[in-house]
Amino acid sequence: VTGSGERTAESYNGESQNAALLVVEYTTELPVYQCADGIDNDGDGAIDMADQGCISSSDSSEYGNNECDDGIDNDGDGLTDVADLGCINLAGLDETNCGDGICGAGESWQSCSLDCAVPQCSDGIDNDADGLVDFPNDSGCLSEVDDDEADFLGNTLRVPTDYSTIQAAINAAQDGDMVLVYPGTYPGDLIVSKRITIASNFINTENQQDITNTIISGGNDGFFVQTPIGEPMKIIGFTITGTVDGIDFEGGSSIVKNNIFEYNTDDAIDLDGSSESIIENNIIRNNGDDGLEIRLHNYNGPTLNIIVRNNTISGNGEDGIQLIDYPGISDRVFYFYNNIIKDNVYVGLGLMDNGDTTEDYRAASIPEPIYLYNNHFIGNSYGITGGDNLKAMNNMVIGTPNIAFKNVDGNSQISYSLFWNNSVDNSGSNLDTLNNVNENPLLDINLRLQSGSPAINAGVSIIEVESDFDGTLRPQGAAYDIGAFEYSESISP
């Protein structure tokens, strides 16, 4: 910008006098912002403030909040944005470079087997030479992430046949053994420090009655667990009720599956310390505080993977799932998918910080990676609050009295969502407004999609989510469906 200004001498000495004008020539270079330069910088057909990537006219990039355009080394390989081999251009959503030999944040064996080892129960190989391959075909596989296909070879300690109490059997067990519990009601406050399997007879019968009739009741914790990281201990097929916390994990690896948690006065499941877990196929309902409470205590080391999938989490007195942050960034990654998170009093997924658990909807800026895929959020007071590195895709958020997504910002991305009957869909979150649905999802009484639902074929493919809540393969149509269930003419009414 070029111009001139003039003043009389009076302007400088305060006296009135005749004087020549003082003429000042000046030149000022103003910055040119992509969101105000009249150019389609990212090639998407939209220019300046008409581009969804522009937050304001002083935004320096039309690309939006992408990992390849944020100035951050998201995958920890020492390279940033387009200098990273994982970025083709500034529009790249994910800096992760599959093939660099590093199993970084955002990578998994599903998305990059070149960098992340494929577990035996998903590698397509008959590792134990029994003629059976992978989960669920090989009986030695408890899940697709189980890294040991070999059939269970430990001892079986039966309760009450061999031992009168579960704790006596746990005390006698060695790593690799199974404590098999027959129907009955047993006291809580069970202490576990070994890599063992504790299961009801459901593990043999797959009869739901073995879950409802094998009950852990009372005590401060149903189970108190602290084991080393590595081969997981397993808790399978119980009803856990009437405790303070159903299971309190203070460290180690675990699998928690096919259980019912109800009417515990505090949380159904606590994950504290250096704990990682696969929590799947559970019913977690009507507990006094949170369904799951996960504290991000200080931890640095091999990445802790917390996988929560195919659960029904409903009617809990505070949050369905609560993450509680502490100072610093820990080596953890979270996956939440195919869950029904419904009618929890406070938040479906609530993020807190500074070690605080009393929910106040602060929407904490937790930096650890959180992947939120194909979930139903229904009737929670708030849907999802907080997160600075949260990727949400194919989620359905409906019937929220307050805010569906609150302050899911920073490096977070929300896309391919269905919103319906919420008071507010979005407040302060990084929402891609081009690929969402704002229509009645047409759910039946079992929350499945009905014919004609706008959620059908409205999602995006996600390699980690190969099947739905019921085990139906995705996709059944031209694309993934939004929400926990995939519509199929052969299985849907």
Q: Cβ contacts of residue 136 below 8 Å, gap of 6+?
A: none
Q: Which residue has the higher pLDDT, 47 or 247?
A: 247
- How far CA 277 is from CA of 86, 88, 255, 300, 489, in Å, comes to 29, 34, 6, 17, 34
> What pLDDT, in 10s, does the model give residues 94-129?
667 777 767 765 567 777 777 788 888 888 898 888
SS3 of residue 122 by DSSP:
helix
Question: CA–CA separation, 47 vs 224, rounded Å?
Answer: 57
Burial class from Cβ neighbours inside 10 Å (0-12, 13-18, 19+) for residue 299 reads buried
Output the DSSP codes for 463-484: TT--B-TTS-BS-SSSSPPSSS
CA–CA distance, 264 with 287 (Å, rounded to integer): 5
Which whole number is the average pLDDT over 139-160?
77
Contacts of 272 (CB under 8 A, 6+ apart): 248, 249, 250, 251, 295, 297
In the three-class reduction of DSSP (H, G, I as helix; E, B as strand; rest coil), residue 433 is classed as coil
Question: For residue 45, is it left (φ>0), alpha (ψ between -120 and 50) or beta?
Answer: left
The pLDDT tens digits for 304-334 are 999 999 999 999 999 999 999 999 999 999 9
Q: Given the structure tokens 């039966």, which residue do they identify?
A: 158
Q: What value does the mean pLDDT take over residues 381-394?
A: 98
Q: Alpha-carbon torsion 148, 152, 156, 158, what sign?
A: positive
Buried b (16+ CB within 10 A) or exposed e, 363-372: bbbbbbbbbb
Residue matched to tokens 């599956």:
257
Rounded-to-integer distance, Cα 249 and Cα 362, Å = 26
pTM above 0.85, yes or no: no
Between 48-57, 224-233, 462-471, the lowest mean confidence (pLDDT) is in: 48-57
Say if CB 176 and CB 154 are below 8 A apart: yes
Q: Could you give the CA distance from residue 452 to residue 443 in angstroms, rounded to a whole number? A: 10
Measured in whole angstroms, the distance separating CA 333 from the mean position of its chain's CA atoms is 8
The set of residues, in sequence order, having a beta carbon less than 8 Å from that of 192 and lying 6+ positions away, is: 170, 198, 223, 224, 225, 226, 227, 233
The C-alpha atoms of residue 242 and residue 236 are separated, in whole angstroms, by: 18
pLDDT in tens, 419-455: 999 999 999 999 998 999 999 999 999 999 999 999 9
